[in-house]
């Protein structure tokens, strides 16, 4: 088990530890047994973007973009140009003939957009004096354009020329995903009670004469009761959104109808007094869906400090863990072996395996959720509550690995398969987690190769 070598966990604040999640020194299913600390940033690192099989970029509140080699840990380039924190970053790959080139697009609080060449470190294009900071970026490879979302939705070509824009909502756009038929789903940042709850708009791009694009709003989806914090594209036919109050909606990507609705709640005793119910009520952050991820069949929701696994195929819950971390979960990823990984504000990165749920003798409300409901959201009473005990196929998430190295909240991670995993944190550091056995073998091969070159063998 990798311990706190870079700082104490006390830096995360006074949080109550869950002894059930202590995994111990021996972690046979955890092959991340070696770490490499990557230093270069001097403020919070919020974004990681994979460039190719060997390189990735990091960015954060110091306004820097750093390009790294994941195998060696070498810092290849330092991209300077933004004067304030970076608010979004994405890779933009375009093909010309047989040549494929990947660039980086960054947005900053200084109200600029920049296009970087990760081969040379040059800032190829820049747009300044934007009306607002950009909060999200989306590349539409099929149309050879990309989209920025802030107080307005802007569509740009690969030469950084503005094609069209639309003012969809007054509060600004926080997330976008691509949909079929040249459509985009965009969620706004704040709750707007005078119009409709947390607007999710459907802009459609159309091609006019002269090959000019235009954008027009098609529909507003107002089925959420509060702010949408997560928005993902599941496959060609489905996308999903998650809200601040635990609503999870699965949408048809073509006609934008609701395919499934989940409301993650905690059961309150019917026999307790009203005062006792209020005392036991969860904080809003405990049921807020911070992030969603999907492999096309399963979807993972980071809900408060817990994890919730949903089958897109059967439209049902398949696994859960009410308390997966000591604080809010910020990022998740489904693994090829059927497990999943999560990171949290508590500074930990954890690996989970889905296992059959051993039903305890205690009430079902002790599970991840006390009740969950299906159907379209409305003001009427929901369908009958389904208890955990009525779901024999429900599984739990068993902790199989605990990666402890950061002294600050782990913002996100990116996986390079057998080459390892990279995490970034509020402690200004990046950590490359690797398989010690593989790395030892690679070091031995490099040594033998060097000896051969020098005539030592």
pLDDT of residue 203: 62
Judge whether residue 63 has pLDDT over 90: yes
Q: Are strands 395-404 and 316-321 parallel, antiparallel or unpaired?
A: parallel
pLDDT at residue 412, as a whole number: 98
Note the pLDDT tens digit of each residue in 212-245: 777 877 788 888 888 888 999 999 999 999 998 8
pLDDT at position 330: 97
Q: How confident is the model at residue 405 (pLDDT cuts 50, 70, 90)?
A: very high
- Answer whether residue 415 shows pLDDT above 90: yes
Read off the pLDDT of each residue in 353-359 and give the average, rounded to a whole number.
78
pLDDT at 358: 65
Q: How many residues in the chain?
A: 457
Rg (CA), the chain: 23
Instruction: Give percent of the chain above pLDDT 70.
Output: 75
Q: Which of 45, 59, 153, 154 is nearest to 108 (CA)?
A: 59
Residue 367 clears pLDDT 70, i.e. is over it: no
pLDDT at 1 over 60: no
What percentage of the chain exceeds 90 in pLDDT? 50
| DSSP calls for 173-229 | EEEEEEETTTEEEEEESS--TTT-TT-EEEEEEEEETTTEEEEEEEEEE---SS-EE
pLDDT score, position 283 = 60
| pLDDT-derived band at 21, boundaries 50, 70, 90 | low
Q: Is the pLDDT of residue 258 over 70?
A: yes
Query: Mean pLDDT over residues 432-455, rounded?
Result: 85
How does pLDDT run across 329-351, given as a tens digit for each residue? 999 999 988 899 999 999 999 99
Q: How would you label 375-404 residue by residue, b for 16+ Cβ within 10 Å and e otherwise?
A: eebeeeeeeeeeebeebeebbbbbbbbbbb
Q: Residue 49: is its pLDDT beyond 60?
A: yes
Please determine, for residue 373, whether its predicted confidence score (pLDDT) is greater than 60: no
Tokens for 125?
């294009």
Q: In this structure, what token pair is assigned to residue 393?
A: 């196929």
Between vectors from CA 76 to CA 73 and to CA 82, what angle results, nearest 5°?
115
CB atoms near residue 453 (< 10 Å) = 9
In whole numbers, what is the pLDDT of the chain averaged over residues? 80
Is the pTM of the predicted complex or chain greater than 0.75?
yes
Q: Is the pLDDT of residue 14 over 70?
A: no
Query: 331 has which bridge partners?
Result: 343
Q: Which range, 272-286, 376-390, 436-450, is most confident?
A: 436-450
pLDDT at position 185 over 60? yes
Compute CA distances 345 → 268, 324, 329, 404, 406, whole Å.
27, 12, 7, 12, 10
Structure confidence at residue 217 (pLDDT): 76
Q: What is the pLDDT at residue 265?
A: 66
Strand arrangement, sheet containing 410-415: 34-38, 430-434, 421-425, 410-415
Residue 278 in this model has a pLDDT that exceeds 50 = no
Q: Mean pLDDT, to the nearest integer, of 21-40?
A: 83
The confidence band for 169, taking pLDDT boundaries of 50, 70 and 90, is low
Residue written as token pair 């989940």: 262
Mean pLDDT, rounded, for 197-211? 51
Q: Tell me which residue of 118, 129, 127, 107 sits closest to 46, measured CA to CA.
A: 107
Banded model confidence at residue 279, pLDDT cuts 50, 70, 90? very low
| Per-residue pLDDT at 172 | 78
Asked if residue 402 has pLDDT above 80, the reply is: yes
pLDDT at position 22, please? 60
Structure confidence by residue, pLDDT tens digits, 126-152: 999 888 899 999 999 888 899 999 888
What is the distance between the alpha carbons of residues 113 and 12, in angstroms, rounded to a whole number?
33
- 262 sits in which H/E element: strand 258-263
């Amino acid at each position: 088990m990798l311990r706190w070598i870079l700082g104490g966990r006390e830096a995360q604040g006074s949080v109550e530890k869950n002894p059930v999640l202590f995994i111990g020194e021996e972690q046979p299913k955890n092959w991340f047994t070696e770490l490499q600390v990557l230093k270069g940033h001097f403020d919070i690192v919020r974004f990681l973007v994979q460039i190719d099989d060997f390189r990735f970029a990091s960015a954060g509140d110091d306004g820097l973009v750093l390009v790294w080699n994941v195998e060696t840990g070498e810092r290849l380039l330092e991209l300077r140009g933004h004067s304030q924190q970076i608010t979004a970053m994405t890779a933009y790959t375009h093909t010309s003939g047989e040549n494929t080139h990947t660039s980086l697009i960054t947005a900053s609080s200084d109200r600029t957009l920049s296009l970087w060449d990760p081969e040379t470190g040059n800032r190829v294009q820049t747009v300044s004096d934007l009306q607002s900071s950009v909060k999200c970026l989306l590349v539409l490879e099929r149309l050879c354009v990309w989209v920025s979302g802030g107080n307005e939705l802007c569509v740009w070509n690969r030469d950084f020329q503005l094609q069209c824009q639309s003012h969809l909502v007054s509060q600004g756009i926080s997330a976008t995903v691509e949909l079929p038929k040249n459509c985009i789903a965009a969620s706004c940042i704040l709750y707007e009670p005078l119009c409709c709850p947390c607007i999710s708009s459907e802009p459609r791009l159309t091609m006019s004469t002269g090959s000019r694009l235009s954008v027009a709003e098609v529909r507003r989806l107002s089925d959420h009761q509060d702010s949408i914090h997560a928005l993902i594209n599941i496959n060609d036919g489905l996308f999903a959104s998650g809200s601040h109050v635990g609503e999870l909606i699965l949408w048809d990507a073509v006609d934008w109808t609701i395919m499934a609705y989940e409301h993650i709640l905690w059961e309150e005793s019917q026999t307790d007094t009203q005062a006792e119910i209020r005392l036991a009520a969860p904080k809003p952050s405990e049921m807020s869906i911070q992030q969603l991820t999907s492999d096309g069949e399963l979807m993972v929701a980071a809900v408060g400090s817990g994890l919730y696994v949903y089958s897109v195929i059967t439209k049902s819950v398949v696994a859960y863990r009410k308390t997966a971390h000591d604080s809010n979960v910020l990022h998740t990823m489904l693994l090829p072996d059927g497990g999943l990984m999560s990171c949290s504000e508590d500074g930990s990165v954890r690996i989970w395996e889905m296992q059959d749920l051993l039903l305890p003798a205690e009430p079902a409300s002790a599970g991840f959720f006390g009740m969950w409901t299906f159907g379209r959201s409305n003001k009427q009473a929901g369908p009958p509550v389904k208890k955990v005990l009525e779901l024999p196929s429900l599984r739990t998430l068993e902790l199989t690995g605990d990666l402890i190295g950061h002294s600050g909240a782990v913002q996100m991670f990116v996986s390079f398969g057998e080459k390892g995993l990279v995490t970034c944190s509020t402690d200004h550091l990046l950590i490359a987690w690797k398989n010690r056995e593989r790395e030892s073998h690679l070091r031995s091969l490099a040594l033998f190769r060097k000896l051969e070159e020098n005539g030592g063998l």
